[in-house]
Structure 1
Amino acid sequence: MTISRRTLLASTAGMLAAPAFVSAQGTTWRPDRPVTLIVPWAAGGSTDQMARIVAVELEEALGQRFVVVNQPGASGSIGTRNVLQAAKDGMTWAAGAAVDVGCYKVNGLLDTMLADWHLFFTVANVNTISVNPRSGFADFGQLLQALSTRRDIAVGTAGQSSAGRNMMETIRQAAPAVNYRHATYDGGNPAVLAAVAGEVPVVAQLLVEMAEMIRGRRLVPLAVQAEGPITLQGFGEIPSVRRWLPNILAPLNYFGIWVPKGVPEAVSQTVSQIWETRVKNSARLKEYAESRAAVFAPLHGQAAYDAAWVMVRQTAWLYHDAGTARVAPDTLGIQRL
């Protein structure tokens, strides 16, 4: 069953009864006022969808509201910067894709690295390329041929460091003749809607952002950046881009929430306990992942860092090889895969 907009926007009113979560040091974090969860992208996109579900889980666990605030701009770095600059009291969190946080410094957008954050993941998302039904492209092979012979095909993405842009640059790395006109938007949802409206013929973003439009036959999915085909509930199988480009990389793209290191240890310890006892069993998040062909991945701590580091390494060097990196990845301790 597809999760409803009502569920995505649900918010607990007032104080809720909450169980006690005690950290290893015997202390508990109990916020005494609403907590801010900044989504550094536009409303309706993959981060926004996920963050609103997580907010409900945390509200019910801690008995305090988690207010989701959208602050898009500069490939997510504006909202993330605001979290970094906020008081280190655990009352301001960020949400998004871990690869963005891991590559902001490479791109010269923000002086931060993945190791600067306490990481709490919920799902891993799959990059997808889709087209408007009137685009004339029946499969990815046809689009690949057109991208290799023309220079005027516009591809919509959520920005320079978005999942869609990364997918397109990975395709170009695997097929050097590929070129395209990059059309950037303030988030995945605006990019998807632009393709639906025919403003751009092609969109490269996350499958979770396209799922409803694909099921409604308003977009045609051509390929996913995954090791094999992906089945989308209510639609069917979407082939892997590896059918046409067998050697293309396809690491998992982890999404979640995070707070800067330096907050009281009780904050990270308490949320870690919530991840173990509640988020790992969340019916809401499992339903969300299943309905949008995402991977349910409730990781935190070192396990989260290790999982995300694979895509950070691949993506940082992707930027470098494309000539868009401002800082060489190896000078930051990011080695090639």
Structure 2
Amino acid sequence: MRSIMAGVLATASFVAPASIAQEYSWQPDRPINIIVPWSAGGSTDQVTRVVAPIIEEALGTEVVVVNQPGASGSTGTRAALDAPRDGYTWTANAIANNATYAVTGLVEDTSIDDYHIYLHVANVPMVSVNIDTEFQDFPALLEAMETGSVTVGTAGVNSSGGMALAAIREAAKNDLNGARMITYDGGNPAVIAAASGEVQSTTQLAVEQTEMVRAGRLRPLTVLSDEPLEVEGIDPVPPITEFVPDFHVAADYFGVFIPTGAPQEVYDTMDQVWQDHVMESEELRSYANDHGAVFAPSYGEEAREIAMPVVIAEACARVERGEAVVDPSEIGIDCSGS
């Protein structure tokens, strides 16, 4: 997983006392809401609840994480975009989701340009199976997906797990008709379904699965990376390129996004908060190391540049799979070279 990150250097909890907060140009006078458009316990929810207290302490104001799942994350995303553009309603997600919802028609008239971008970690999908299944390695699971019947729990077609399954289908050059996706309101319910045996497998993110793997409820078979996943308490998980050498890997960045249109002082302040506190956060670094994510904070134009490969890959893959209802070129994404 390290090589795909080449070039990367890097509900509410408590209310920090005002004396701790620095004197930024924006001084919030009421709580800030971060809408997580997925259920509690999933990858976006987990890391947002690590970042929210860091922002609270810096600003000296309450930061409330609000779960609003539905329609592959588009319900909460739409709510954030429809809220007053005053700087008090943000959203959180994988950036590829926010940047490509318009391509699939889930959120109309939106693009990456609708947000100021604050990235914190990169995640990697992991293919795991219930510990009681017969599948001992990824080739065995892939064969069953081709010739038999396998249920796969994900958070929906637009989730990281759904997109991972679609990428596996594409890379296998086979429809994998035996793989039957069962969708849930978030990554955590999908992983719990696999751990309980309600479905046989899951392709959700590693950060959503590591605890169930440590508990002996899931057997990890591969990660969608070009490097093994190494997390304390878990045997190294082999990369998918070991089994499918030409599998295309793009780092899946997650972050917090503030819709455009707020006073400039909101963005100036958050740029400084990200620089001063998030990019040096040991709490965030520890979360990433413990859960199988990559610590990779960035913001602004640098964040956009870093994230564009996964944005382009996901948007153009939608076209190739026949899932696009809007041509990516209409939201500034060129698929001619993909």
Give the TM-score, by structure 2 length: 0.93
Answer yes or no: is the 8 Å Cα contact 1:21–1:274 preserved in 2.
Answer: no
Give 2:151's match in structure 1, choosing from 151, 154, 160: 154
Q: Cα offset for 1:176?
A: 2.1
> Is contact 2:153-2:184 (8 Å) kept?
yes
Alignment of 1:230-245 (within 5 A): 230-245=229-244
Which residue of the partner structure matches residue 183 of structure 1?
182
Q: 1:195-226 deviations in whole A, cap 9, x for unaligned? A: 01101001010000001001111100000011
Match of 2:41 among 44, 49, 64: 44
Task: Tell me what 2:101 maps to.
Answer: 104
Within a 5 Å distance, the mapping from 1:289-300 to structure 2 comes to 289-300=288-299
Aligned to 1:215: 214
Question: Which amino acid in the other structure matches residue 224 of structure 1?
Answer: V
Structure 2 gap segments, 5+ residues each: 1-10
Matched, 1:88 2:90: no
Alignment-derived partner of residue 202 in structure 2: 203
For 2:115 and 2:55, the matched residues in 1 are separated by 18
For residue 142 of structure 2, the aligned residue among 141, 144, 148 is: 144
Equivalent pair of 2:118/2:257 in contact (CA under 8 Å): yes
Contact 1:115 1:305 (C-alpha < 8 Å) held by counterparts: no
Q: Report how many aligned residue pairs link the two structures.
A: 323
Deviates more, 1:304-313 or 1:57-66: 304-313
Q: Deviation per CA, 1:234-268, whole angstroms, max 9, x where unpaired?
A: 11200001111111111111111011111111101
Shift of 1:153: 1.3
Q: Distance in 2 between matches of 1:130 and 1:269?
A: 42
Percent identity between the two aligned chains:
45
Matched, 1:284 2:283: yes
CA contact (8 A) 1:97 1:253 kept: yes
Q: Could you list the per-position Cα deviations for residues 171-215 of structure 1 after superposition, in whole angstroms to 9, with x for gaps in the alignment?
A: 111112223111000000000000011010010100000010011
CA contact (8 A) 2:227 2:238 kept: yes
Query: 1:241-320 counterparts in 2 under 5 A?
Result: 241-320=240-319
Secondary structure in 2 aligned to 1:94? strand
Letter in 1 for 2:193: A
Secondary structure, counterpart of 1:129 in structure 2: strand
| CA distance in structure 1 between the aligned counterparts of 2:23 and 2:274, rounded to whole angstroms | 11
Kept in 1, the 8 Å contact 2:12–2:64? The answer is no
User: How far does the alpha carbon of each residue in 1:63-120 deviate from its partner, in whole angstroms, 9 at most, with x for none?
Assistant: 0000111000011111111111111110011011100001100010112101210000
In the alignment, what sits opposite 2:14? 12
Q: For 1:102 and 1:315, how far apart are their aligned partners in 2?
A: 9
Once the 2 structures are TM-superposed, how far is the Cα of residue 19 of structure 1 from its aligned partner?
Answer: 3.7
The alignment partner of 2:221 has SS state of strand
C-alpha distance after superposition, 1:11-40 (max 9, x if no partner)? 114644234354xxxxx1111011111110
Aligned partner of 2:171 among 174, 199, 209: 174
Tell me how far apart the structure 1 counterparts of residues 287 and 26 of structure 2 sit (CA, whole Å). Answer: 28
Contact 1:188–1:209 at 8 Å: present in 2 too? yes
- Asked if the contact 1:15/1:65 (under 8 Å) is kept, the reply is no
Q: RMSD value over aligned CA atoms?
A: 1.3
Shift of 1:61: 0.3
Counterpart amino acid of residue 127 in structure 2: I
Rounded Cα–Cα distance in structure 2 between residues aligned with 1:16 and 1:31: 11
Structure 1 partner of 2:120: 122
Question: 132, 135, 141: which is aligned to 2:133?
Answer: 135
Task: Report what 1:3 is aligned to.
Answer: none
- State the alpha-carbon separation in 1 of the partners of residues 210 and 192 from structure 2: 12
Which secondary structure does the structure 2 equivalent of 1:230 belong to?
coil
Q: Distance in 1 between matches of 2:189 and 2:274?
A: 31
Mapped to 2, the partners of 1:76 and 1:18 lie a distance apart of: 35
Contact kept in structure 1, 2:39 and 2:45, CA below 8 Å: yes
> Helix, strand or coil: the match of 2:72?
helix
Deviations 1:103-160 (A, max 9, x none): 100010112101210000110001111000111100001111111212x311110011
The question of whether the paired residues in 1 share the 8 Å contact of 2:129 and 2:201 is answered with yes
SS in 2 for 1:281: coil
1:64 is aligned to 2:36: no
Which residue of 2 is the match for residue 5 of structure 1? Answer: none
Check whether the contact 2:15–2:56 (CA below 8 A) recurs between aligned residues: no
1:32 pairs, out of 29, 33, 38, with: 29
Measured in 1, the distance between the counterparts of 2:264 and 2:122 equals 26
TM-score by length of 1: 0.93
Gaps of 5+ in 1: 1-8, 23-27
